[in-house]
Amino acid sequence: MSSSNSQRLGRVGPRVLVALFAVAVGLGLAACGSSSSGGGSSNESVSLPWGKFTLNDQTAQKIQNGDKPTIKLVSINTSAPFWGPMRDGVAAAGKQYNVDASFTGPPDYSIEQQVAQIDELTTQGVDGLAIAVGDADTLTPAIDRVTAAGIPVFTVNVDAPESHRFAYVGQDNRRSGTIAGKEFLKEFYKNNKKGGGPYKVILTATDVAGQYARDRFDGFKEVVDKTGDFEYTDPTTTGPDPAKVYSTVEDLFRANSDAKGLYMADETIVQGGTYIQRNGLSDSVVAVGHNFAPGTAELMKSGAIDASVGQLPYKQGHDVIQYLAQFLKDGKLPACKPICDVGQEVADQDNVDQFDFGSTG
Amino acid sequence: MMSVAIERLGTARKALTGAVDGAASSMLRKRTTALPSMGIAAAIVLLGIVFSLTTDSFLRTDNLLEVARQSSLLGLMSIGVTFVLISGEIDLSVGSVYALAGVIAAIVTASTGSAFIGVLAGVGVGVAAGGVNALLAAYLGLPSFIVTLGTLQIMRGLALSITNGIPKSLFDSHASGISTLFFVGRGDVLGIPFQFVVLIGIAAIATVVLRLSTFGLRIYAAGGSKEAAALAGAKVARLQLSTYLISGTLAALAGVIALGFLGSGSPLAAQGIEFDVFAAAVLGGASLFGGLGTAQGAVLGALFLGVLRNGLLLLNVSSFTQTMIIGAITIAAVGLNRLALGRTSAV
């Protein structure tokens, strides 16, 4: 090699080496950046208690392109009044976090339809799913199919704890039942003697087989059973039709004329309270329920309903979309995981004016 | 000669029409007798005996009056559906009409300050629904099962959309006439629930119309055979329009009365009531194939279901078991009814 060639190589070589080194460092930093953000801007894996989750290519590409991800909240039965505020929360979070967020689900309580919709959305390539679980056992495999397809899932309002969901956003329904139980006992022993039982409590729900109802009944009984003062009727399904709810409560009180308590595991407490009011039972029966359906306030003020445990459905809808959006865009998982308890509100005859009862929250 | 021939043809046609009407009238009078109702009445009595012996609260006056009230709105809807069934068609939309009527009545009452206008609006929903169903099924000839299944979805969806799923409450309403609406829903006449009084009144009118009017007899004829009825001079599509209007109006009336009773209109009202409505009509002697049924039978069918549900709840039978028992006993009661009809019917 001539000395001029070796000199030329000597001058070019280091610059090339520096340039190559700079490119390598840049690429390395970029790679590190994306892996530390989890599934957000690339499809690196993120570790969860049940294993590794890898965001699907389509969504990862969408995020990298700066396109709006699509997030759906699949409810259990869209026709129930409870979902109105949650729908509003979803819409608000969608705007706030710049995602295409919407609310869907079967109009009537149907696990099969809910599973079918979830599978359909998975095939269509939705970017994130929030699922209000109709039944934990049936929905768990469906949720696992979604995450296996690289789509993140959060559960909302009702959980499927054994599934591959990222986190649960909502109220712990069992805890909600224990709160209802505590409110019940607080009111009951104002006018009834401790140890004077067994006092009979009528139990109902729109659908006693629903996960939410089973959890709430368990929570309620967990607290109330400690007193040893109570016995229960078999939980009775009322269905959603208000006239039928009223008739069912009417017949249950006829069959159990010695009943001193009524626990209705959802907003059908309005019809229960209406029966109590019309039949002059406000002073002799303690009635506790859930949610803040229209009519609850009036019945509470009249003394027919003693307490109702609200679920903050707006917050549930808002927060679950927020968490999904943050995961998709930034790879962040909420600090509250795996259970993001939105808390609860308890309305009773003392504080009833503080609450917005038109929203069924 | 041509004009004479035409005149003679016209006379012959009139004679034929008269003969068909006469034969139909005689035949149909058998079908509209109390016979189908006797079977279901016997079933009610039997249930009553069983529940009286097995519970201590069934036979109480206040319980029986409650059952009467609980059965009233179902009875109204079943009467309406019976008209449609007799004419050979079907109306699955009644539950949704009930819900939409209640919701519309509540909204209009709240916004106009007049319960009277609200009630008119609610009942108007039923008339409109009946008209739409008739237009599609009777005039355009689309299958009524599909048409009314479609309008069931449309109206339920409308009720949910208008309310965003949240019931419309009149608890605090000071609208004019609101106390009258509440009386219709909750009041009583000499201890008898006013809802039940309304049911009996409408059943009586419906019975007279079906048994004693040409209109009623032609509905049966249309249900028996549309072609024969048309040949006999009946305007079948117009008859079916009338039956759909009756069905829609009665379902809407039931929804408005429910509003008066509960104080709020819910988009979920009467969800799934279709089984009960058709079970009541068929228990009362109506045929899903047309040509059979009575208003009094529909009322008794509704009362049968009311007694059954009441008794099972008084016995503290679990919800899950109730569902099975109601299905099984309904089948048995229909069988009993058909047995009674089959033994003596010449048709």
Structure tokens, B308: 């059954």
Answer whether A307's CB lies under 8 Å from A262's CB: no
pLDDT band at B115 (very low <50, low <70, confident <90, very high): very high
Handedness of CA B79, B118, B193, A284 (dihedral sign): positive
State whether B169 and A294 contact (CB < 8 Å): yes
- Least trusted range by pLDDT, from A7-16, A165-174, B157-166, B215-224: A7-16
| Strand duo A286-290 + A259-264: pairing | parallel
What are the start-end ranges of the E strands in chain A? 45-48, 51-54, 70-74, 100-104, 128-131, 153-156, 168-170, 199-205, 230-232, 236-237, 259-264, 286-290, 307-310, 339-341, 345-348
pLDDT at A8 over 60: no
Beta-carbon contacts of A166 under 8 Å, excluding residues fewer than 6 positions away, are A48, A53, A152, A153, A154, A323, A327, A333, A337, A338
pLDDT at B33 over 80: no
DSSP state of A225: G
State whether A248 and B271 contact (CB < 8 Å): no
pLDDT value, residue A195: 94
ipTM of this predicted complex?
0.80
Answer whether B78's CB lies under 8 Å from B139's CB: no
Answer whether B298's CB lies under 8 Å from B202's CB: no
Classify burial at B42, counting beta carbons within 10 Å of its beta carbon; exposed 0-12, middle 13-18, buried 19 or more.
Answer: middle
State whether B313 and A235 contact (CB < 8 Å): no
Distance CA A212, CA A322 (A): 23
Mean pLDDT of A196-222: 94
Distance CA A282, CA A277 (A): 6
Q: Which helix (H) or strand (E) holds B196?
A: helix B194-212
Classify burial at B210, counting beta carbons within 10 Å of its beta carbon; exposed 0-12, middle 13-18, buried 19 or more.
Answer: buried
pLDDT tens across B254-279, in order? 999 999 999 999 998 998 899 899 99
State whether B264 and A241 contact (CB < 8 Å): no
| CA distances (Å), origin A190, targets A48, A259, A306, B302 | 48, 16, 12, 43
Shortest alpha-carbon distance between residue A81 and chain B (Å): 4
The nearest alpha carbon in chain A to B266 belongs to A242
Q: Which of B58, B98, B162, B171 to mutate to test the interface with A (most CBs of A within 10 A)?
A: B171
Beta-carbon contacts of B306 under 8 Å, excluding residues fewer than 6 positions away, are B67, B68, B70, B71, B74
Cis peptide before A198 (omega within 30 of 0): yes
pLDDT value, residue A38: 42
pLDDT value, residue A322: 97
Place of tokens 């219709």: B184
* Neighboring chain A residues of B65 at a CB cutoff of 8 Å: none
| CA distances (Å), origin A306, targets A79, A283, A284, B30, B60 | 26, 10, 11, 57, 30
pLDDT band at A10 (very low <50, low <70, confident <90, very high): very low
Q: What is the pTM of this model?
A: 0.80
User: What are the residues facing A70 on neighbouring strands?
Assistant: A100
**B91: three-class secondary structure by DSSP:** coil
Mean pLDDT of A183-194: 96
Handedness of CA A314, A317, A322, A323 (dihedral sign): positive
Shortest alpha-carbon distance between residue A118 and chain B (Å): 21
What is the rounded (10 degree) CA torsion for B254, B256, B260, B263?
Answer: 110
Angle, nearest 10°, between helix axes B61-86 and B94-112?
110
Classify burial at B52, counting beta carbons within 10 Å of its beta carbon; exposed 0-12, middle 13-18, buried 19 or more.
Answer: middle
| CA distances (Å), origin A111, targets A92, A240, A300 | 27, 16, 34
The nearest alpha carbon in chain A to B172 belongs to A298
pLDDT value, residue B140: 94
Answer whether A323's CB lies under 8 Å from A73's CB: no
Closest partner residue to A294 (CB to CB) among B156, B166, B273 is B166
pLDDT value, residue A110: 82
Residue B230: how many other CB atoms lie within 10 Å: 15
* Neighboring chain A residues of B264 at a CB cutoff of 8 Å: 242, 270, 294-295
Q: Hey, is the C-beta of A243 within 8 angstroms of any chain B C-beta?
A: yes
Q: Which of A206-215, A299-308, B262-271 has the highest mean pLDDT?
A: A299-308
Structure tokens, B10: 């016209």
DSSP state of A204: E
Proportion of chain A above pLDDT 90, given as a percent = 70
What is the rounded (10 degree) CA torsion for B203, B205, B211, B216?
Answer: -110
* Neighboring chain A residues of B268 at a CB cutoff of 8 Å: 79-81, 240-242
